[in-house]
Amino acid sequence: MGQQPRAKMIEQTRAKLITSARHAFGTQGYGNTSMDDFTAQVGLTRGALYHHFGDKKGLLAAVVAQIDSEMDARLDAISASAGDPWSGFCQRCTAYLYMAQEHEIQRILLLDAPAVLGDLTLNLQHDCVATLRRLLEHLMEHHFITPAPPEALARLINGSLVQAALWIARDEAPAERLHEALQGLEVLLRGLRNHAPVGK
């Protein structure tokens, strides 16, 4: 078998395992999912899982990375389609709280991943903070928000959004908590806004 067909087969096997595991983790939860169940569903063995991901935890990390990447793409599209950078930033923050209520994101990314992967999820948070920092620097440069240390501000905003999402996910009345979180977010964002004319 040539290098190209072999590489394609490896990629397909990996994709099959991630897709199957993502469905299982999203519907049953990480703790209730048997490796034999989702490997058998795609006609593969535990050996294939161990070869590609090391273990079940490694597979969860790959699923989390995929979901996180998709969320980033959705949030970037929301920012890009807004009328101006400030509106895009506000819509992005609001959209994150709504996305965090989607069952798959809530169960895998917010509930199972921190409990199972621990510090491994910190890399994802670093990426989120870096993205927020770039957006905040752009907003400061164009006088949309009051100047402040961008790294600190990015960490404060990211931490607030993540904690609010977790609070909503773990509550018995998530819709009510989401409504309250959105009201709080509006107040926070209003406090960031530079009310001097743009460009001054």
Pairwise CA distance, residues 62 & 112, whole Å: 13
Query: pLDDT, tens digit, for every residue of 22-74?
Result: 999 999 999 998 888 777 777 877 777 788 888 899 999 999 999 999 999 99
Task: Give the model's pLDDT for residue 199.
Answer: 46
Instruction: Reply yes or no on whether the pLDDT at 3 is more than 70.
Output: no
Element housing 159 (H / E): helix 150-169
Q: What is the mean pLDDT of residues 105-134?
A: 88
Please, how many CA atoms are within 13 Å of residue 43, restricted to the half-sphere of its CB? 2
The reported pTM is 0.85
Query: How deeply is 44 buried, as exposed, middle or buried, from its count of CB atoms within 10 A (0-12, 13-18, 19+)?
Result: middle
Residue 14 has pLDDT above 50, yes or no: yes
Residue 10 has pLDDT above 80, yes or no: no
Q: pLDDT for 135-179, tens place per residue?
A: 999 999 999 999 999 999 999 999 999 999 999 988 888 899 999
Q: In residues, how long is the chain?
A: 200
Q: What is the mean pLDDT of residues 186-196?
A: 87
The residue ranking higher by pLDDT, 3 or 122, is 122
**Domains of the chain and CATH, by start:** 1-54 (1.10.10), 63-200 (1.10.357.10)
Burial class (CB in 10 A: 0-12, 13-18, 19+), 112: buried
Under 8 Å between Cβ of 108 and 25: yes
Q: Rounded to 5 degrees, what angle do the CA atoms 174, 94, 118 make?
A: 65
Q: What angle do CA 112, 109, 158 make, to 5 degrees?
A: 125
For 187-192, what is the mean pLDDT? 94
Residue 54 is predicted with a pLDDT of 86
pLDDT at 198: 47
Average pLDDT over the chain, rounded to an integer: 88
pLDDT at 169: 86
pLDDT of residue 2: 54
Between CA 10 and CA 140 the distance in angstroms is 46
Using one digit for the tens of pLDDT, what is the confidence trace for 73-93? 999 999 999 999 999 999 999
